[in-house]
Amino acid sequence: DAGVIQSPRHEVTEMGQEVTLRCKPISGHNSLFWYRQTMMRGLELLIYFNNNVPIDDSGMPEDRFSAKMPNASFSTLKIQPSEPRDSAVYFCASISTGVTGELFFGEGSRLTVL
């Protein structure tokens, strides 16, 4: 299996621009998580989906952030408009619902907002 696949790996954009991050979970995993990592706040859960349905979005910073999961093999995290404080590494992770143990992370998307 190729693992969790994220794109882009790196993105540099200017303040005010729209940013879309993409994730393909591991085939057969039906829970998907978006985490954000910064030096100041560490790894934080933003939102997660079970069977394509958003379950908990309490970690989403504000209305500029939105996430969708139109099908079992694809999810997006969108920031519009982006701000410099959104600069971080965004990770997508997946696991089978009800299974504990190894949460599989992607390699992350490093976002820099100038």
Partner 1 sequence: GESVGLHLPTLSVQEGDNSIINCAYSNSASDYFIWYKQESGKGPQFIIDIRSNMDKRQGQRVTVLLNKTVKHLSLQIAATQPGDSAVYFCAEGPYNQGGKLIFGQGTELSVKP
Site residues, partner 1 (CB under 8 A): 4, 31, 33, 38-40, 42-45, 48, 56, 91, 93-95, 97-108
Tell me how far, at minimum, the Cβ of 66 lies from partner 1, in Å: 20
- Write the CA distances from 36 to 1, 27, 52, 57, integer angstroms: 24, 22, 20, 13
Query: 74 or 104, CB closer to partner 1?
Result: 104
Query: 18 or 102, CB closer to partner 1?
Result: 102
Tell me how far, at minimum, the Cβ of 108 lies from partner 1, in Å: 5
Which phi and psi angles does 85 have, rounded to 5°?
Answer: -70, -5
Tell me how far, at minimum, the Cβ of 96 lies from partner 1, in Å: 8
Query: 19 or 46, CB closer to partner 1?
Result: 46
Widest pairwise Cα distance in the chain: 40
Q: What is the full DSSP assignment across 75-97? A: EEEEESS--GGG-EEEEEEEE-T
